[in-house]
Amino acid sequence: MAGLVMLEMLPRAWFLFLFPLFLLFRYYYCFTVNGKTGKGQQRESRLPPSPPVLPIIGHLHLVGSLPHVSLRDLAARHGCDGLMLLRLGAVPALVVSSPRAAEAVLRTHDHVFASRPRSMVADIILYGSSDIAFAPYGEHWRQAKKLLTNHVLSVKKVESLRTVAMEEVSMVMAKINEAAAVGGVMDMSKLLKSFTCDIACRIVSGEYFLKEGRRKLFQELTSETSHLLGGFNMEKFYPTLARVGVGLLKKNISAKAERVKNRWDDLLDKVIDDHDSKDKSMLDYNCGNFIDILLSIQMEYGLTREHMKALLIVSKNSTFKIILLIKNK
């Protein structure tokens, strides 16, 4: 009897599983096959060349474990004038592979390509995408860029951080020398990861993140955030499905992002409160860390607590830029 019940339920289970795929196929067929008539055909003929495409998944099957290598090989075979169009799931992606095309995209038509696609994960973790990396092109983005250029990455600021960077480099070299002196083995991957985390902690908040185990928490949160923002999730390739189609998918993605955001909130609220309790006359954005800088210009730029936390979450990228600027000097 139980077996008969299971057999009766099996078609229903398969139907629930295949129904979203059917909707995607229907969408693809209507808008990319039947839609290529009249003006649609003219518009299609003006698009860059593209490899043969599969329904639903598009060109995802052509991107391997090393995406940059896959894209290079695909562009060499299918690209024209340094341009190639891919469909990653339901999302079109323009691949640029020549200096001339890169100049057209990054300089001539920069304002067209300046904004990233809206992301549910970025909206949650970065307080409505209010940072500089995911914020849409507009007045807020221009002000955030001005803030970073004039204060966080200014010449005086970079020069003031030279001592911090050199101290961290010296400590890394000392560890390598100690291991070499006794013929020991050094895990360079772990060492360099620790180095970048330590220098980011000092540049972002001084010594605060290095105290009471906060360094490890900062490293964990940075890794989890990078994975959520840059890793694979269905929302990136099927945004419509994530927004309206599958409640379970949307709930799962939102839950992961909310957990990471709440942990960032707890950490950054403490560190900002700690710095905010200092004498304001002691804050100097030319010599202070990132948090001191943001507090010293908070009124000038109208920064809310959420804006500051969003900028701090992505500040590790700014740290890498500072290290490169110091090295180039």
User: Are 187 and 272 contained in the same domain?
Assistant: yes
Task: For residue range 14-58, list pLDDT tens digits in order.
Answer: 444 555 555 555 555 554 444 444 444 445 568 899 999 998 889
Structure tokens at 256: 């992961």
Whether 317 shows a pLDDT value over 70: the answer reads: no
Cα distance between residue 318 and residue 285, in whole Å:
15
CB 48 within 8 A of CB 80: yes
- CB-based burial, 52-68: b 16+ in 10 Å, e otherwise: ebeebbbbeebbeeeee
Whether 213 shows a pLDDT value over 80: the answer reads: no
User: Are 74 and 108 contained in the same domain?
Assistant: yes
Whether 272 shows a pLDDT value over 80: the answer reads: yes
User: Are 185 and 91 contained in the same domain?
Assistant: no
Structure tokens at 121: 């994960």
User: Are 200 and 307 contained in the same domain?
Assistant: yes
Over residues 135-161, the mean pLDDT reads 83
- Going by pLDDT thresholds of 50, 70 and 90, the confidence category of residue 259 is very high
User: Are 105 and 144 contained in the same domain?
Assistant: no
Within 10 Å of residue 93's Cβ, how many Cβ atoms?
Answer: 15
User: Are 146 and 105 contained in the same domain?
Assistant: no
Over residues 223-251, the mean pLDDT reads 73
**What is the pLDDT, as a whole number, of residue 15?**
46
Structure tokens at 123: 């909206």
Which tops the pLDDT comparison, 208 or 152? 152
- Burial zone of 3 (CB within 10 Å; 0-12 exposed, 13-18 middle, 19+ buried): exposed
Q: Give pTM, 2 decimals.
A: 0.72
**What is the pLDDT, as a whole number, of residue 142?**
87
Whether 228 shows a pLDDT value over 90: the answer reads: no
